[in-house]
Amino acid sequence: MDKLSSKIRMEFLGFFKNNGCTVVPSDSLIPTGDKTLLFTSAGMVQFKQHFLGQSKDSFTRVSSCQKCFRTSDINQIGTTARHLTFFEMLGNFSFGDYFKKETAAWAWEFLTKNMSLPKDKLYITIYKDDDEVAGIWKSIAPANKIIRMDEKTNFWNMGATGPCGPCSEILIDWGQETGCGSPTCGPDCSCDRYLEIWNLVFTQFDRQSDGLLKNLPRKNIDTGMGLERLVAAVNGRKNVFDTDLFIPVMENAAEILKIENEGRNTSKLRMIADHSRAVTFLISDGILPSNEGRGYVLRRILRRALRQGKFYGYNKPFINKLVSDVFKTMEDAYPELSSKLNNIQSIVKTEEEKFLETLEAGSAILSSIINSYKSKGMNIISGKDVFKLYDTYGFPHDLAKEVASENGLEIDEDGFKSEQKNAQEKSRAAWCGSGERDITFYSILHKKTGDTVFTGYDNYANESRVL
Ligand code: ATP
Ligand code: MG
Ligand code: MG
Ligand code: MG
């Protein structure tokens, strides 16, 4: 019998509670204390003030299981064995309290004793110049499992200046058959074989504008471990989707889509399961589908998940039916979900219905555009054609791009952007006011800041900078 995720989550928090940490509940996926971020993408986000010594809270060591959402990994979902958009990050933190020695010892103890992970399969990466941590790890783990790496993976920065420091990551070797097969494949390879489970960040420096690293007066610890990866590792599963957090959702999706047993672990089904969890949690934290900001990201992943159904010949709403499976696996850890089931289901269903209507009309037109390009031997669809599809029929540009690429065609992106700009200018020129009495404030603001362009989706990589 597999060890359940709910038990592992509780054991983690219990372990750190026993080590004097205050257990702090997860923050919302909309970061409450940081307006600069679109989503909470790591456990440390809610503790930024504590790290900077600006919090009034009295605790100096805490632990949490934080709901996270990362769009930076969106294109990997289903294709790697370890990436998710929505995941839970287990973490322990120190604000000027314990430091490297305790962090390393506790991480090793928790993984090898409490979780019984095999010591011989674990690797530890350290920052190449961090001799202090090298000494600590050598007293804990075999020397041949400690690997020095460079700043790309093992040095954390919050920005160009400010708090930063080396980190250690703990990886588990999932076996040769899960790797890329390259003769140089090792713990520094980005394939799935050496699964990164825990990142331990030692925030000990304050980088000055001239690049100099000054010692911080109060050193901090920030760790993050994906619950799903840990659950997979503990149960000897080679894939995060092969755990109790996903199986019920994937099984129900397979039933609905009438997928036979052998096709039940495809990247499409995995994507459906991941996105259904994300959609459920994003809505439960108050985000609604819309055309901008967080709502746009939600809309996009919901539509993406729904579109996978078409691959199996299924043309009806079905993501709303998976919400209750997500609830089954998560409700005990997030009891606040329970009053929201009907509401989330109906928001998802309405959005699905709306999108299927748009899809139907737009897809037929897009197919004829694609066919006509193909018949002429052309492989780049003009921006004008794609913009018309978007502007007149509401067919999303990114979806047109995906469908075009499935058919071996590309889209003239510059052409699309210039069509979009022309249309914006036309509509601005035609605008006679919205009926509001006083828009002076907005015009002053506009003069100061210029046009506001939502770049959150394209620039999503910034979000993951926190760990
Ligand atoms: P990877 O190299 O596998 O992409 P990462 O280095 O980007 O992971 P960190 O930013 O260090 O990850 O986050 C800390 C921990 O959170 C990771 O060690 C991992 O356990 C978990 N984690 C990070 N990104 C994801 C994700 N997309 N899905 C699931 N778990 C994740
Ligand atoms: Mg990553
Ligand atoms: Mg990594
Ligand atoms: Mg990492």
Amino acid (1-letter code) at residue 282: L
Average pLDDT, the chain: 90
Please indicate whether residue 275, judged by its CB atom, sits closer than 6 Å to ligand 1.
no
Please check the confidence at residue 363 and state whether its pLDDT lies above 80.
yes
Nearest to 262 by CA among 274, 273, 254: 254
Please check the confidence at residue 460 and state whether its pLDDT lies above 80.
no
Asked if 325 contacts 256 with a C-beta cutoff of 8 angstroms, the reply is: no
Q: What are phi and psi of 19, to 5 degrees?
A: -95, 25
Q: Which alpha helices (H) appear in 140-199, and where do they start and end?
A: 151-154
| pTM for the model | 0.85
Asked if 232 contacts 240 with a C-beta cutoff of 8 angstroms, the reply is: yes
Asked if 193 contacts 165 with a C-beta cutoff of 8 angstroms, the reply is: no
The CATH architecture assigned to 5-241 reads 2-Layer Sandwich (3.30)
Identify which has the larger pLDDT, 301 or 463.
301
Find the 406 Cα to ligand 1 centroid distance in Å.
29
Find the 26 Cα to ligand 3 centroid distance in Å.
22
Please indicate whether residue 463, judged by its CB atom, sits closer than 6 Å to ligand 1.
no
Q: Is the ipTM of this complex over 0.85?
A: yes
Q: Is 447 exposed, middle or buried (0-12, 13-18, 19+ CB in 10 A)?
A: exposed
Q: What is the pLDDT, as a whole number, of residue 393? A: 75
Find the 196 Cα to ligand 3 centroid distance in Å.
6
Taking the CA atoms of 22, 28, 32 and 36 in sequence, report the sign of the dihedral they define: positive
Average pLDDT over residues 71-89: 94
Please indicate whether residue 67, judged by its CB atom, sits closer than 6 Å to ligand 1.
no
List every span in the chain annotated with CATH 3.30.930.10.
5-241
Please check the confidence at residue 461 and state whether its pLDDT lies above 70.
no
Find the 40 Cα to ligand 1 centroid distance in Å.
13
Please check the confidence at residue 265 and state whether its pLDDT lies above 80.
no
- Mutation pick for ligand 1 pocket among 64, 93, 188, 229 (CB with most ligand atoms within 8 Å): 229
**How many residues belong to the chain?**
467
Q: Token match 């990247």: residue?
A: 267
Interval 422-451: pLDDT, tens: 887 886 676 544 333 344 444 455 555 555
Nearest to 63 by CA among 28, 92, 96, 104: 92
Percent of the chain with pLDDT over 90: 73
Q: DSSP 3-state assignment of 224? A: strand
Q: What is the pLDDT, as a whole number, of residue 261? A: 79
398 — pLDDT class (breaks 50, 70, 90): confident
